[in-house]
């Protein structure tokens, strides 16, 4: 039963959330000073970029920890891995899928909060910054989790219909 399509979706969910830990989520540059604030899963830090876009020095703005994003991402990945190996109990898989939906929604909300409110206040500028690839990973993970939950429910419905025939 581990070779089902929902296992593929859950594995892709794990990859998406783990990649979020290593990708930048959001960045904003101050045009006057050239200082850039970058949000990652672990911290919100500033740095000064040269003309090539390489960091030349640490910025003047003190870093802030965003460990909640990293912990929520790790929790979502662990729950998805546990869900993969619960294939003998589809009801447990569905419960874990619901829990993972809540954690992924909290992950997306936390990422948005740090980008839109905390990070935007750290640096001057008229724009809202740019959302990087890591920011979209929780949305992809939510989609993959919904697909996995759909196929788990489909399997459970199939088993129940076969039980009615006996």
Q: Residue 62 gets which letter from DSSP?
A: P
Q: What is the mean pLDDT of each run of 10 residues along the chain (166 residues)?
A: 84 97 92 84 84 63 89 97 91 95 97 91 81 95 96 89 72
9/43 Cα distance (integer angstroms): 29
CB distance 49 to 61 below 8 Å: no
pLDDT of 55 reads: 60
Q: What is the pTM of this model?
A: 0.88
Question: Which residues in 92-152 belong to E strands, given as ranges?
Answer: 130-131
Instruction: Tell me the two tokens of residue 48.
Output: 């000064």
pLDDT of 1 reads: 52
pLDDT of 94 reads: 94
Question: Which residues in the chain belong to E strands, given as ranges?
Answer: 26-29, 35-39, 43-49, 55-58, 64-65, 130-131
């Amino acid at each position: 039963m581990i070779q089902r399509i929902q296992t593929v979706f859950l594995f892709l969910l794990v990859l998406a959330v783990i990649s979020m830990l290593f990708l930048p989520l959001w960045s904003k540059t101050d045009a006057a000073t050239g200082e850039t604030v970058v949000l990652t899963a672990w911290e919100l830090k500033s740095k000064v970029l040269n003309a090539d876009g390489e960091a030349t020095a640490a910025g003047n703005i003190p870093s802030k920890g965003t460990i909640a994003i990293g912990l929520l991402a790790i929790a979502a990945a662990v729950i998805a891995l546990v869900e993969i190996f619960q294939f003998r109990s589809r009801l447990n898989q569905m419960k874990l899928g619901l829990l993972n939906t809540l954690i992924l929604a909290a992950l997306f909300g936390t990422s948005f909060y740090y980008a839109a409110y905390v990070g935007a206040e750290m640096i001057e500028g008229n724009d809202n910054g740019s959302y990087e690839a890591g920011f979209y990973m929780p949305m992809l993970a939510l989609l993959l989790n919904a697909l996995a939950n759909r196929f788990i429910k489909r399997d459970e419905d199939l088993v129940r219909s076969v039980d009615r025939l006996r």
